[in-house]
Amino acid sequence: MSFSSIASSVFLRPSYNHNTVSSIQTTQDRINWIDYAKGLLIILVVFGHVLRGLHGAHIPIDNEKLMDTLIYSFHMPAFFWLSGLFLGKNMGHGFKDFYQKKLSRVLYPFLLWSLIQGSLSVILNSMTNSSKDMHRLAFFWLYPLDQFWFLHALVLIQVLFFLTKRFSWKTLLGIGFVFWGIGAYAGLDYPLANPLLNYIYVVAGWLCTQYNEFELCTKYRSYLNPLSYCPILVIAFCAYLSIQFGITIPLLTALAGIFTILQISMLMSHFQILPFIKRLGEHSLSIFILHTLIISATRMALQKVFHIDNGLSHEIIGTTAGLLLPFLIFSVLEKRKLTQPLFLR
């Protein structure tokens, strides 16, 4: 499966033409590491949502707080960072051009699938952890539902970047820090806070493409150096501070997580380790869109049909279903030529 542009959405697979941004698309190996990175991150997304669904269903889980803290400290900032890698491509010269080439590719899936998933949540409200009603659904475009907050934030970040792209990289980085500070400390509602908090990660991804950071990683094979994985210790230490003392260092944790994902995905790409993770990355858009409905249905079936309340069983089965069933659904829809109308391709 090949998607047109990762710039439009982090989940979209980059194209293989000579106009792509910087050096990260000049070889198949560099395309592979991006798919590996998306695969690793989509696993964390699904597993994290399984954990929080079990928490809402009052199913006990061992080490729940530790796993939740570790996952949510960096996995979504890393997705925003990935989206920034191709943000400068096809930006266009005017807003109409920008909308057609980039913004609509994120906006349309957000609108369509928010309505589909939101409607099902309202209908099945009494059977799930959901508390959604028609009033909540009517304002999904302002207060995004469930996982679609990411697409909502990405739309707004793309607009922000379009408005600020003429500034120097130092100014963009400064704007990113200011936005992050406002999002973190101004007490804004999450629809406004999310794009402000994550703008800096998108800019950081874009900056990496401007200064050939990936050329250096490839040339010196930093992913083969054990010291390159020291940021894992930073993530663990920050998680300890958060759990034991309530002290959070979100920017440091997120950047350490991004660097770690970069090194691990390049290492896996170099040795072609666990290629199924790369396949998950290639299908990350359909997994992202469909997994919430699937893991909710799986949890209900395990509880109410099979009477299984074991947390570990739910974690394994729910995560596996959330990752693999979208493949099956995608294959069925592709045969019927429905993947593009449903924005799954």
pLDDT the model gives residue 1 = 37
Pairwise CA distance, residues 62 & 208, whole Å: 38
Pairwise CA distance, residues 178 & 14, whole Å: 30
Reported for 295-301, long-range contacts at CB under 8 A and 24+ positions apart, including other chains, are 295/46, 295/49, 295/50, 295/53, 295/319, 295/321, 295/322, 296/53, 296/128, 296/129, 296/130, 298/322, 299/50, 299/53, 299/54, 299/57, 300/127, 300/128
CA-based nearest residue to 237, from 229, 227, 247, 223: 247
| Range scoring the smallest mean pLDDT among 78-82, 131-135, 272-276 | 131-135
Instruction: Report the residue count for the chain.
Output: 345
- Residues with Cβ within 8 Å of 110's Cβ and at least 6 positions away in sequence, in order, are 144, 148, 151, 152, 155
Q: Is the pLDDT of residue 17 over 50?
A: no
**For the residues 213-225, what does the mean pLDDT come to?**
75
Percent of the chain with pLDDT over 90: 68
- Residues with Cβ within 8 Å of 32's Cβ and at least 6 positions away in sequence, in order, are 269, 272, 278
pLDDT the model gives residue 213 = 65
CA-based nearest residue to 207, from 155, 161, 267: 161
- The 10s digit of each residue's pLDDT in 305-321 is 999 999 999 999 999 99
Pairwise CA distance, residues 138 & 141, whole Å: 8
- The 10s digit of each residue's pLDDT in 247-300 is 999 999 999 999 999 999 999 999 999 999 999 999 999 999 999 999 999 999
Q: Is the pLDDT of residue 91 over 70?
A: no
pLDDT top residue among 22 and 326? 326
pLDDT top residue among 201 and 340? 201
Give one word for 337, left, alpha or beta, with left for phi > 0 and alpha for psi -120 to 50: left
CA-based nearest residue to 161, from 225, 98, 67, 250: 98
pLDDT the model gives residue 92 = 60
Q: Is the pLDDT of residue 26 over 80?
A: no
Reported for 281-284, long-range contacts at CB under 8 A and 24+ positions apart, including other chains, are 281/34, 281/35, 281/36, 281/37, 281/38, 281/39, 281/40, 281/42, 282/1, 282/13, 282/35, 282/38, 282/39, 283/1, 283/326, 283/327, 283/330, 284/10, 284/11, 284/38, 284/39, 284/41, 284/42
| Range scoring the smallest mean pLDDT among 74-78, 126-130, 194-198 | 126-130
